Chain A
Amino acid sequence: MSTIGWRDRLQGKMDPELAEEIDVFENQVELRKDGRVDERVFAETRLRRGVYGQRYDNGLRHDGVEHRTLEFPSGELTKGPETLWDAPGMLRIKVPWGGLTPLQIDVLAELAEEYSDHILHITTRQDIQLHYVHIEDMPTVMRRLAAVGMTTREACGNGVRNLTACPLAGVCRTESFDVTPHSEALFRFLLGHPDCQDFGRKFKIAFSGCADEACGLVMMHDLGAIARTDIIDGEPVDSFDVYVGGGLGTTPHQAKLLARQVPLGELLPTVQAVSRVFARLGEKQNRNRARIKFLVAQVGIEEFSRLVREEREILPYDERWTAHLEDGLAPEEPARALDGRGEDDADTPAFRAWRESNVYLQRQPGYAVVTIPLPLGDIASGQARLLADVARRFVGDTVRTTVEQNIVFRWVRLEDLRDLHAALEEIGMADPYAETIVDVTSCPGTDTCKLGISASRGLAGELRERLAAKSSDLDEAVKGLRIKVSGCFNSCGQHHVADIGFFGNSRKSGGRVVPHFQVVLGGQWQNNAGSYGLAVGAIPSKRIPEVVDRITGQFVADRLPGESFLDWTGRVGRKGLAAIIEDLKQIPDYEEDPALFSDWGNPREFSIGDIGVGECAGEVISSTDLELSFAESIAFEAQVALEDGDIARADDRAYRSMITAARALVRTELPDVPEQDDVIVREFDTRFVETKRFQDRFAHGKFARPLLERHASGTSAATEEHARTLVEEAQLFIDAAHACQIRMAGATSATQ
């Protein structure tokens, strides 16, 4: 009841395009339940809507003694290869440039309570994730998000992921200019863009306001833009340096400069051209080589740049490229005007510590950014509501998430700092450890990720607790270090750019498997993640706190005056660093130390048997497959409308499903086919009907006729019988389109 109720209640409150997307997805869910959509197609369909698998979703879990089967009610029904229907899943919600409003936080909290586990989890890319959500609840969750302007579209799968930006953008003291409106414009432009539907792998974009700080971590992204301002003819001129081909994972790459001083109005078409080159030339079969970094490395940055320029020249003009510039770039406004009181002098030790670590003075006099640290990126739903109230009281709609899994309030008046601290203390969220060594970042790891090897969150939580307990005794040079933990080599915890990083792996000893973490030292956070750390050895998980103690202790004892951790690791070198922890690698017999054979926060004897097939790469499904699948969804809507006696809607949906299927075929040869029915039908007729490629061996041209006739007549079905006929013909049309596509693919492969 709630599902239908929410759909009806939220009609008109959602962006129409997003609303239709969700309707289509809901239909796909129904079609998959009926076995009418292939599991691989459905998997990519859901991934492109942020619906991700979770650990144990193949129905198997090692309980510490043996593997057990999870006997879900829907049995063998799947939502993707080796992914059972009833198994709980994760929903990733995009938060472009980290921007959140208190209303959005309220809704996220509601959804966490009603569909998840009461927890909002902030990721290392500023998204928000809900875990343990059932597939059949997803459309309702998406609608409730859409009603407050949030989307999950393309949050997973082989598309453009969340677009990140420095949380200080617009208020930073060292930025060239505010990147927020440009990142927002690019986010909207690329969302669902046809040129981004045929990637072989995901594509991550980041924006930075300045080159020297950590800012948006551009150098580790598939594509990044760093703001710059030059004085030309005596006038300041804003532009972007655009980088491409960065990435972490098992083979981290630093991004390369694609183009310097790209004018603001050229940013969107430049990224569009990059997308086209990536879609056309990027690897599609071998997912391990499919990120754009491999393409850039393969052809070289000069050739890649040339290809992009060439593509840019033939792009059809799109008014959205500059619309945001013409509208004017309105700066964010503070919710509360200064009252001239200034900052209160009185303080307490707790306030002083918090003021020192959690407050950043904005470039706008009288205002500050305040960080609210969230342990492991988690916040409970009830707390989120209270935090939203605090935001309403002090900063309004200027909340942002950070890649360090925290929340920041911008535009806090200095005169409000004391009251804000008190308000945060009252709800237990005034921890003073923001962006210090205590504020450990972690990916989900074995807690929920199918690919996790070791318990990154377990380790991060343990380190956080231990470091917090002794934070007041830590050397100042150590306090400012960053620790980041990934559960496996895929680097979602961004360990490569931490001072002290870890990623999960395992080693065998005496016939048992022991959880380990590889130690990575000396990554560079500054300079937009300007260099990556050195791997110095794998150590059993339970000994990692000792690793942190030894490394930081040695650094303090050994550092030269003013020497940074990065410089120290460079001076000592991999061999010297490895020697510090060498003895910790030894694994005793199980009987001597059984605790070493389990992971942090998980008493089960360690096993790697729960690792599943990752969905990070998504299924490599062509955009034609996906569009034909959408056409099926629309045809399904037509059937439902017919059953409801809504003849006009049945007719419209049947017609639209054929248009969608026809467009899918046309787009295989004419990627830029406009969204105009006349053009689509004309091109379809010319390219597929007249050439007889749409003909069936037995039915000949019969299946194309309903579309051509319905389009030519321009009139809707007048009777239920007419509508019923059109609905049936639409299904046949889609089947014929599938068959046509298969024949075309066969012809293509035969010529290769």
Chain B
Amino acid sequence: MNPHRISVKLYLEDPAALDPEAVVEPFHRYIREDAVGGIPIDVARYAHVVNGPGIMIVGHQLDYAIDYGEGRAGLSVTRKRDAAGPLAEQVRDLATEAARLSLLLQAEDGIGAAGRAGTGEVLVTILDRYEAPNDDETLVRAEPALRDAFAPLSEGASLEVTRVGGTRDPFAARVAISSARPLEHWAEGSAALA
């Protein structure tokens, strides 16, 4: 499977604590300081949109967002171009990016713990209805890669992979990790997992 776009979302531990507008200034700074991956282009504000992408750093390869999709606040990272490597690696790299974003936000004076994302539950979305329609067949094809992606991040504990959404939605799988490693470990990336 070589999908057009993949997104990984980690959920905020205390969603009500984070005012999305509070990330606008840090997001602009992350662009200025090259603190995020790819070629970041601009900050897009969609906090006024119900269940929308919130506040985004829109980039050439990657989008970063405080994401309110499906009515739950989280930190999502979407790869749009220049994907490389097997699906499992791509997914794990995106999880790493999301964890790094969380750590960056937690280091902000005005945000702190409100930017903390949990690692016990992850939403992986494949935004490519041609390659990956949202059906059980896609789940069968994607599940091994998803398990491979998160196994090194989960202290050997069990993983539960469930397809979510209807057939008109993009393919999405919720990965529940019973004993996940901490966010800081996730943020270290593939090199640290080798």
Q: Which residues of A contact B (CB under 8 A)?
A: 1-2, 5-6, 9, 55-56, 61, 63-65, 68, 70-73, 86-88, 106, 110, 113-114, 117-119, 131-132, 134, 375-376, 378-380, 382-383, 385, 427-429, 447, 457-458, 461, 464-465, 601-604
Contacts and interface: CB of A to CB of B under 8 A. Distances in A.
B48 A88 contact: no
6 contacts: A2-B4, A61-B42, A63-B31, A88-B58, A385-B169, A602-B28
Contact of B41 (A88, A113, A380, A447): A88
Nearest to A9: B130
Contacts of A461: 45, 48
B101 to A, nearest CB: 17
Contact of A380 (B32, B52, B127): B52
B169 A382 contact: yes
Nearest to B27: A603
Interface of B: 2, 4-5, 24-25, 28, 31-32, 39, 41-46, 48-53, 56, 58, 60, 63, 69-70, 80-82, 127-131, 168-170
Nearest to A388: B168
A56 B51 contact: no
Given A380-B46, A380-B69, A385-B169, A114 B128 contact: yes
A380 B53 contact: yes
B130 A72 contact: no
- Nearest first, the 7 A-B pairs at minimum CB distance are A380-B52, A428-B50, A63-B32, A375-B48, A603-B25, A2-B130, A118-B53
A363 to B, nearest CB: 32
B25 A382 contact: no
Contacts of B69: 118, 380, 382
A424 to B, nearest CB: 11
A2 B131 contact: yes
Contacts of B28: 63-64, 602-604
B70 A382 contact: yes
A1 B2 contact: yes
Given A55-B42, A114-B4, A380 B128 contact: no
A117 to B, nearest CB: 6
Given A114-B4, A380-B69, A601 B81 contact: no
Contacts of B48: 375-376, 378, 461, 464-465
Nearest to A132: B58
Nearest to B125: A113
Contacts of A378: 46, 48-49, 52
Nearest to A114: B127
A487 B175 CA distance: 43
Contacts of B127: 113-114
Contacts of B39: 70-72
Contacts of B56: 117
Contact of B50 (A55, A56, A68, A383): A383
A428 B32 contact: no
A86 B60 contact: yes
A73 B42 CA distance: 17
A486 B22 CA distance: 26
Nearest to A65: B32
B68 to A, nearest CB: 8
A70 B169 contact: no
B contacts with A: majority SS = loop
Given A1-B2, A2-B131, A385-B169, A380 B51 contact: yes
Given A56-B42, A63-B31, A382 B51 contact: yes
Nearest to B43: A602
Contact of B82 (A63, A73, A113, A385): A73
A465 B47 CA distance: 11
B18 to A, nearest CB: 17
Given A118-B69, A428-B51, A429-B50, A72 B42 contact: no
A431 to B, nearest CB: 9
A119 B60 contact: no
Contact of B45 (A63, A379, A601): A601
A64 B49 contact: no
Contacts of A65: 32
Contact of B60 (A1, A88, A110, A118): A88
A371 B127 CA distance: 31
B3 to A, nearest CB: 8
Contact of A61 (B41, B80, B82): B41
Contacts of A110: 129, 168, 170
Give the residue among B5, B50, B69, B70 with the most A Cβ atoms within 10 A. Answer: B50
Given A70-B41, A72-B39, A88-B58, A5 B49 contact: no
B52 A383 contact: yes
A444 to B, nearest CB: 11
B36 to A, nearest CB: 13
Contacts of A383: 49-52
Given A603-B24, A603-B25, A427 B50 contact: yes
Given A63-B28, A114-B128, A465-B48, 8 more contacts: A86-B60, A117-B53, A118-B53, A134-B80, A378-B46, A428-B51, A461-B45, A604-B28
A387 B81 CA distance: 30
A4 to B, nearest CB: 10
A132 B58 CA distance: 8
Contacts of B46: 117-119, 378, 380
Given A86-B60, A603-B24, A604-B28, A380 B49 contact: yes
Contacts of B170: 110, 113-114
A598 to B, nearest CB: 10
A32 B95 CA distance: 36
Contacts of A382: 51, 69-70, 169
Interface centre among A1, A87, A385, A465 (most CB of B within 10 A): A1
Given A65-B32, A114-B170, A603-B24, A119 B49 contact: yes
A134 B25 CA distance: 26
A134 B49 CA distance: 23
Nearest to B26: A603
Given A2-B128, A385-B169, A118 B52 contact: yes
A9 B81 CA distance: 23
Contacts of B131: 1-2, 5
A112 to B, nearest CB: 10
B63 A117 contact: yes
Contacts of B4: 2, 114
B21 to A, nearest CB: 8
A72 B58 contact: no
Contacts of B2: 1
A87 B39 CA distance: 10
A61 B32 CA distance: 10
B14 to A, nearest CB: 21
Contacts of A71: 39
A64 B44 CA distance: 16
Contacts of A457: 45
